[in-house]
């Protein structure tokens, strides 16, 4: 992809060695109970130092405060593990299983202050059946998530996305 990874900022420390092995700076900023504001202040400092063209949220699972969404509008990209607008928020595969859906998907979208409701860049789906367990859905969904995030990020990096209100025009 036409980009340079400036850093990885994570609320988990699992992949530090892998990231640093690639020569990429790693910032571990855990979310401590009762200290969310301090966590987001630390993220804002790192972002201010890096001045990134784009920030990718993958498996972050935190709701960004409004000031970060506003300061980086059109530059925050999230991968959500459902075919939005269906099953926003946490545990979408469990929600899908409860509803008996026949398709699951993933959505790459820009982050806004409204949870999982930003302009959609890319989506894809996989067919499932009553034979599929939640674990099967998660496994199939993770494959879709990787493809959709890579495609959506590439579209963004190649300046092929125009944001118009809460919609996008994507030039493929």
Pair 109, 126 in one domain = yes
Catalytic sites, residue numbers: 116
Domain hosting residue 70, numbered range:
53-170
Pair 136, 150 in one domain = yes
Pair 88, 144 in one domain = yes
Pair 61, 106 in one domain = yes
Q: pLDDT tens across 89-104, in order?
A: 889 999 999 999 999 9
Pair 88, 100 in one domain = yes
Pair 43, 94 in one domain = no
Q: CA 137, CA 63: separation in Å to the nearest integer?
A: 24
**Which residue did the predictor score with more confidence, 61 or 86?**
86
Pair 57, 47 in one domain = no
Q: pLDDT tens across 93-135, in order?
A: 999 999 999 999 999 999 999 988 999 999 999 999 999 999 9
Pair 165, 90 in one domain = yes
Mean pLDDT within 131-155? 96
Q: How many domains does the chain have?
A: 2
Pair 70, 104 in one domain = yes
Pair 34, 109 in one domain = no
Q: pLDDT tens across 8-63, in order?
A: 999 999 999 999 999 999 999 998 888 889 999 999 999 999 999 999 998 888 88
Q: CA 46, CA 29: separation in Å to the nearest integer?
A: 10
Q: CA 48, CA 53: separation in Å to the nearest integer?
A: 11
Beta-carbon contacts of 169 under 8 Å, excluding residues fewer than 6 positions away, are: 161, 162
153 vs 1, 13, 53, 90, 129, CA distance in Å? 9, 24, 12, 22, 30
Phi-psi region of 94 (alpha: psi -120 to 50; beta: other; left: phi over 0): alpha
Pair 29, 83 in one domain = no
Length of the chain: 172
The answer to whether the pTM exceeds 0.85 is yes
Pair 60, 48 in one domain = no
């Amino acid at each position: 992809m036409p980009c340079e990874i400036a850093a990885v900022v994570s609320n988990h420390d699992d992949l530090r060695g892998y990231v640093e092995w690639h020569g990429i700076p790693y910032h571990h900023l855990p979310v401590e109970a009762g200290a969310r504001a301090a966590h987001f202040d630390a993220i804002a400092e790192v972002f201010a130092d890096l001045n990134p063209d784009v920030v990718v949220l993958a498996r972050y699972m935190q709701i960004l405060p409004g000031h970060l969404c506003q300061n980086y509008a059109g530059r925050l990209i999230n991968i959500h593990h459902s075919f939005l607008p269906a099953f926003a928020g946490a545990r979408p595969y469990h929600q899908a299983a409860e509803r008996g859906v026949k398709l699951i998907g993933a959505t790459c979208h820009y982050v806004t202050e409204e949870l999982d409701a930003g302009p959609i860049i890319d989506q894809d789906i996989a067919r499932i059946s009553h034979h599929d367990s939640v674990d099967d859905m998660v496994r199939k969904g993770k494959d879709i998530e990787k493809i959709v995030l890579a495609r959506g990020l590439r579209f963004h990096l190649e300046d092929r996305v125009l944001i118009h209100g809460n919609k996008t025009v994507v030039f493929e």
